[in-house]
Structure 1
Amino acid sequence: MEMKMDMKKMASGVPWLDQPVMLHSSRADKCKLSAEQCAYRNSRWRYWYQADHVYALNTVYLMCAVIAVFAISNLLMRYAPEWVKRTRVWRATTSTSRYMAYRGYRFPVLRYWSPCLGVILLGLAGAVFFLAMTLGPKPYYWPTDANYGSSPPIATRAGWMALALLPFVLVLSAKANMVSALTGIPPEKLQVFHHWTSYAMFVLALVHTFPYIIFHIRKGDMVKQWKTSVVYWTGIPALLSQTYLTVMSLPLIRNRFYEFFKATHMFAAIIFVVFFFLHCDFRLSSWDYFIASGVLYLVSLIVAHVRTYLMHGIHTATLELLPSGLVRVAVPTVVKWTPGQHVFVRFITSDLHLLTSHPFTISSVYRDPDTTGRVSELIFYIKPRQGVTARLAALARKRPGCKKKILIEGPYGGVSAHHLARFDTILVIAGGSGGGFSLAMVDEALRLTGLPADGKSGPQGRRNLQVVFSTRDPAMAEWYVEEVESRLTHSTELLSDAEHGYETSVSVHITSRPMTSQSMATVDSGRGSMSEERKKMPVESTTTGMFSLNVHRDARPDVPGLIARTVAVAQTQTAPGGQRKRIGVLVCGPASMLHDTRNAAAVAQARAMEGDVEELYLHSEPFAVVKAV
């Protein structure tokens, strides 16, 4: 039944594959058992010669169905008429889906923050599918009353389902991938599915492997199989390399040994795919899945490399170490991007990991060169930690203003300018290194001042912009105050059109210094950077102006309360045209901050469902992209 290679085939010169090599093996079958035994052997859930159709294709159908649901949702969100989006059914559906997309859970003992509820439910659905397909059909091993075959049924079905996951594991690992193009989900948010499909594939590979060992131990020829069967010689390296990839990708291990894993995972992945390919040995339609995997992954690589090398080309980055300890990287470019996007940067120098690229969130906004008369600058503010970020800081300290040649891949993620223009209230929340993300959002909000919530030209009522930044580092807080105040003070749109601009408030929280007062300073927009005298202003002193800026010592921001108050205020107001307010929440920071923000946004969906507000939208930026350790 299952094709094997004996010692004679090894003399053919191609010891790893059966001869002659074909794309598919034959499905011809002649059962020599009794009629009753043949009927038992050839039933749908046990028949080896159709196992790829029953188990592998059903796995593909499941994955494609999930992708199709999100692709259709993406199309509806983009192109559905406004009157449809204002109906109660649409509002209820959107609020429910957003609740599941935002709600997360925290396990303090394990220091673990779960993915959102929707991702958990998808994972549970996948687990139920694979458990049902693996453990549901019987038997697990062939009966002993006849020679039904040398492949235990449970091993057969687990192997085919593991193989069917291969194209999706590879595609979900790519940054410029087809799933993101269809669903609109940024590649960094698909990483959780890349990890989970990889884990499922590994568990199925184990379920595929051990029944063979048990079967041959019972049969008494395990030693012979180990010495003579190339199936084992190809399967063991594939399983070992897959084990390495799976174990090293666990968050606790990956975060600790990120640079090492990043440098070795591609080599391990190649070893895995090569030996997995040889192990399958063109059985039935097994090689079709490798062809699909290769085509989809290569297309993703080609798209990414065409953008990097041909469209973007080589750039020059200028490094500067700021008094706050941050490294400022400025890159003049003609590349276009939207707020909150990130790029992967490869430094073309041997002292900065030439062979690997590193993600950095963009802290500036794109300006049209035809309007400004000069090219835009990609600005990154990088917190030195270890690895390449520590090397960047050392270079900038040794040679201020030094220049390095780089390649840029991306941009990825972000929030579209059209989407951002829809919101009447924008709440920007950031922590630590996420401050750069928030600066880009502030810049974009000010650039959009005067545009109505539908993104078209015309008069616009006054909107609200709230910025909350939290850090343990006083130097970083001082840097942030100077940066955000400079942007607000010198915003041409804000100063020239107070009626149609943003009512802006900024709160900076320093969580590591002794508290001297509840609020150390309140400043207005009509003056320059915060002076020492203004830093010492008592809390009672308030100044009205175009924006307010508050610095709090030893006080963490109450993110849930902030979102709840923002929604409560919006409930009492209406946008131009009598519509309810639209609220956009944009957050980037550590896991605890993202967790609190997501859950508060999830709770607030009840207000959107009831029509108290038109919508509440959350965009969260993974902190791992920002810190780029």
Structure 2
Amino acid sequence: MMDMNNMHRGIPWLTKPVMLHSSRDFKCKLNPEQCAYQTGHWRFWYKADLVYSLNTIYLCCAIIGVFTIANILTRYAPDCIKRTRVWRATTSASRYLAYRGYRLPTLRYWSPSLGVILLGVVGFVFFFAMTLGPKPYYWPTEVSYGSSPPIATRAGWMALALLPFILALSTKANLITACTGVPHEKLQVFHHWLSYAMFVLALVHTFPFIIYHISKGDMVKKWKTDMVYWTGVVTLLAQTYLTVMSLPSIRNRFYEFFKATHLVAALVFVLFFFFHCDFRLSSWDYFIASGVIYMLSLMAANFRTFLLNGLHTATLEVLPSGLVRVAVPTFINWTPGQHVYVRFLTSDLHLLTAHPFTISSVYHDPATTGKVSELIFYIKPRGGVTGRIAALAKKKPGCSKKIFIEGPYGGVSAHNMARFDTILVIAGGSGGGFSLAMVDEALRLSELEATGEKPAHKGRRNLEVVFSTRDSAMADWYTAEIESRLSHSTILSPAPEIGFETSVSVHTTAAFESAASSPALGSAKNPKAPAEITTTGSFSLNVHRNARPDIPGLLARTVAMAHSQETFGGRSNGSEFSFVDPLQCFMILGMP
């Protein structure tokens, strides 16, 4: 191996002369059989980066490539292909993989979707096989094959290859989202899982060196004389902090502290990881790729925030429900369900950090309405910045603050919403604001159809909204908001062929939960109070003051209704097909 101890070291902690790559020149001094063993494909140190790092890159790029192709086909495939049996069956299967999750009631845990789990299994099998499959784990002791245990070598190179992908997935305006169309917030699970995989690989890289040098009796000497061990320890400590603090149970409890220290720890980690690699073979290529990817993402986000979006003014107001309403007049265009990151230009609201808020309003073209649209956020005050926003709004009702807006990100395609006969919106708590934007968009689409600006959908459609909350004041607020929207919608015309048959159910669960938790009433059934029913035009509004919504029954009824409308040999949007349309029912969940 390269004897780093005998080379003159530069500052800071880099071998001199500093180069982009170290040499791959190797002359074996052992007998032919031993040389063949040392230079085997899975064991040769001087090509370990090509065997392990590149294969890791190939796996990640192949997965991204599959989703990129799927994204391109979804966007640009002609309708004649999208109406085929194969396309619809594939779409149905992919939606099942994307939505199917598993609940562990004992741990109060919802798993990621089945598709995400399967991708995690693929990664686990790959890293498990690449780490423990090749032999040996340690060099035989009869001759000196080198001081780097083979298992440590391969684990280190695979860990390094994950760095560009982890940094890409950590940004909001990232290249992976641009290629695959998957919103950055849905990619966060892969950012976490790849980080965990990298941490485990780093441990597998570290401990074999300790075991090897303890067995040789020179561990203390190595620690005192070889800077590579110092840089490695600092790197591992920073990585341990990032990994442990990012565990959901810890991150959620200490979110503000974690957010404030995350960037500093990440900088320490990358910097000392860079020193630790010390341009061995092609190691610095991965840092260059990571830096380019990360900086491009930051530049794109900041260009959009400060130059395209510019400075905005937000008006803060506390509602009787306890929510804080934030209104921002803007020329920014957005789609339903998107979110933005808001940076308040005041020191008491965390000037240096941006915070995510879901948009609860719908975009209207200023050329049509004659005025700019308003971004509306409904914020549930908790700790941290949301609590400070609420305190400020209570102290100075209607006060205005200058803000920068990054985004918007995520969302639901308005084009997709227009394709469905049935739209089901389920929301809970502060997720009600998200659902209002969905309702607004559905009503807006029908208004455009009624005025002839969009091709009319054949037949009336169904819009069902279910909202549940513990708080009566929150339920009253939501009831008033949804009733106002439905009452003033222009689609509530007598024209039978256009618009939505709309049904809204609002549930207040506090009294029921208190009864269920009481020892005397613990076995009682849900004591439903009579619903308060409002029926106007083509919508109905049902308010349940002491009941939980029956979500499983609701989903079953909605799907059954879609199946009854689309039978074998039926029609969907005027197109013949031979089985039930998997896209017939569109479901949206908005949770706090």
Q: TM-score range by the shorter chain?
A: over 0.9
**Residue 570 (1) aligns with residue 568 (2):** no
Q: Confirm whether residue 250 of structure 1 aligns to residue 247 of structure 2.
A: yes
Distance 2:312 2:111 in 1: 38
Distance 1:225 1:157 in 2: 21
Q: Deviations over 1:360-411 (max 9, x none)?
A: 1000000111111111000000000111111111011111001111111110
Which consecutive unaligned segments of at least 5 residues does structure 2 have? Answer: 513-525
Q: Which TM-score applies when normalising by structure 1?
A: 0.88
Q: Deviations over 1:32-71 (max 9, x none)?
A: 1111110000010000000000000000000000000111
CA contact (8 A) 2:339 2:357 kept: yes
Q: 1:128 to 1:619 in 2, by over 3 A?
A: farther
User: In structure 2, which of residues 488, 491, 512 is the aligned counterpart of residue 490 of structure 1?
Assistant: 488
**Aligned match of 2:160 in 159, 163, 166?**
163
The one of 406, 409, 429 aligned to 1:432: 429
| Local SS of the residue matching 2:571 | coil
Is 1:613 aligned to residue 581 of structure 2? yes
Counterpart of 1:469 in structure 2 is 467
Letter in 2 for 1:505: S
Contact 1:5 1:231 in 2 (8 A): no
Larger displacement relative to structure 2 (81-90 or 509-518) = 509-518
Q: In 1, Cα distance between the equivalents of 2:453 and 2:145?
A: 67
CA-atom RMSD in angstroms: 2.1
Does the alignment pair 1:556 with 2:539? no
Q: Which amino acid aligns with 2:546?
A: D
Task: Give the equivalent residue in structure 1 for 2:530.
Answer: 519
**Cα distance in 1 between the residues matched to 2:274 and 2:64:** 26
SS of match in other structure, 1:379: strand
Contact 1:318 1:331 (8 Å CA) reproduced? yes
User: Is 1:348–1:406's contact at 8 Å kept on the other side of the alignment?
Assistant: yes
Structure 2 CA distance for aligned equivalents of residues 492 and 177 of structure 1: 40
Do residues 9 (structure 1) and 1 (structure 2) align? no
1:513 Cα offset (Å): 2.5
Cα distance change of structure 1 residues 551 and 44 upon mapping to structure 2, 3 Å threshold:
same
Instruction: After TM superposition, give the deviation of residue 580 of structure 1 in Å.
Output: 3.9
Whole-Å separation in 2 of the counterparts to 1:455 and 1:170: 43
Is the 1:581–1:614 contact (alpha carbons within 8 Å) kept by the matching residues of 2? Answer: no
**Deviation of the 1:432 alpha carbon:** 0.4
Q: Deviations over 1:550-581 (max 9, x none)?
A: 01122111112112111211222259x95147
Question: 1:151 aligned to 2:168?
Answer: no
| Partner SS state of residue 510, structure 2 | coil
Structure 1 residue 83: Cα displacement: 2.3
Output the amino acid matched with 1:41: Q
Distance 1:368 1:617, change over 3 A: same
Q: Deviations over 1:3-48 (max 9, x none)?
A: 4145x734x5x14000000000000001111111100000100000
Q: 1:15 to 1:548 in 2, by over 3 A?
A: closer
Q: How far, CA to CA, are the matches of 1:291 and 1:308 in structure 2? A: 26
CA distance in 2, matches of 1:497, 1:234: 73
1:606 aligns with none
SS at match of 1:572: helix
Structure 1 residue 417: Cα displacement: 1.2
Query: Could you tell me which amino acid in structure 1 is paired with residue 583 of structure 2?
Result: E
2:18 aligns with one of 9, 17, 21: 21
Tell me, in whole angstroms, the C-alpha distance in 2 between the residues paired with 1:229 and 1:508.
Answer: 67
Q: What CA distance in whole angstroms lies between the structure 2 residues aligned with 1:352 and 1:65?
A: 42
Q: Which residue of 1 aligns with 2:539?
A: 547
Deviation at 1:457, TM superposition (A): 2.1
Amino acid of the structure 2 residue aligned with 1:179: I
Question: Judging changes above 3 Å, is the alpha-carbon distance between structure 1 residues 160 and 455 closer, same or farther for their aligned structure 2 residues?
Answer: farther
Among 497, 500, 505, the alignment partner of 2:498 is 500
- State the Cα distance separating 1:616 from its structure 2 match: 4.8
* Letter of the structure 1 residue corresponding to residue 18 of structure 2: V
Whole-angstrom distance in 2 between the partners of 1:152 and 1:495: 76
Cα distance per residue 1:407-451 (max 9 Å; x no partner): 111101111111111111111110001000010011000000056
8 Å CA contact 2:431, 2:590 repeated in 1: no
**Which whole-Å CA distance do the structure 2 matches of 1:99 and 1:113 have between them?**
16
Q: Which amino acid aligns with 1:611?
A: F
| Distance (Å, rounded) in 2 between the aligned partners of 1:150 and 1:455 | 73
Q: Give the distance between the partners of 1:517 and 1:246, measured in 2 at CA.
A: 46
Counterpart for residue 340 of structure 1: 337
State the distance in 2 between where 1:622 and 1:483 align: 16
Segment of structure 1 superposing worse, 54-63 or 550-559:
550-559
**CA distance 1:201–1:622, shift in 2 (3 Å):** farther
What secondary structure, in the 3-state scheme, does the structure 2 residue paired with 1:43 have?
coil
- Quote how far apart the aligned CAs of 1:86 are: 2.1
Structure 2 counterpart of 1:490, one-letter code: H
Give the stretch that moved more between structures: 437-446 or 514-523: 514-523
Q: 2:361 aligns with which of 364, 373, 390?
A: 364
Q: Do the aligned partners of 1:319 and 1:329 also contact (CA within 8 Å) in 2?
A: yes
Q: Match for residue 595 of structure 1?
A: none
Q: How big is the shift at 1:97?
A: 1.6
Offset at residue 184 of structure 1 (A): 0.7
Letter in 2 for 1:396: A
Is residue 570–residue 579 contact of structure 2 (8 Å, CA) maintained in 1? Answer: no
1:448 is paired with a residue whose SS is: helix
Question: What's the offset of the Cα at 1:612?
Answer: 2.6
Is contact 2:317-2:325 (8 Å) kept? yes
Go from structure 1 to structure 2 and tell me whether the alpha carbon gap of 1:618 and 1:189 turns closer, same or farther (over 3 Å shift): farther
Q: Distance in 2 between matches of 1:552 and 1:581?
A: 35
Matched, 1:92 2:84: no
Superposed CA offset, 1:309-347 (max 9, x none): 000011110000000000000000111000000001111
C-alpha deviation, 1:94, in angstroms: 1.5
Match of 2:519? none
Query: Which residue identity does 1:560 align to in structure 2?
Result: P
**Cα displacement (A) at 1:82:** 1.8
Q: Percent identity, please.
A: 70
* SS in structure 2 of the partner of residue 293 of structure 1: helix
Amino acid of the structure 2 residue aligned with 1:9: H
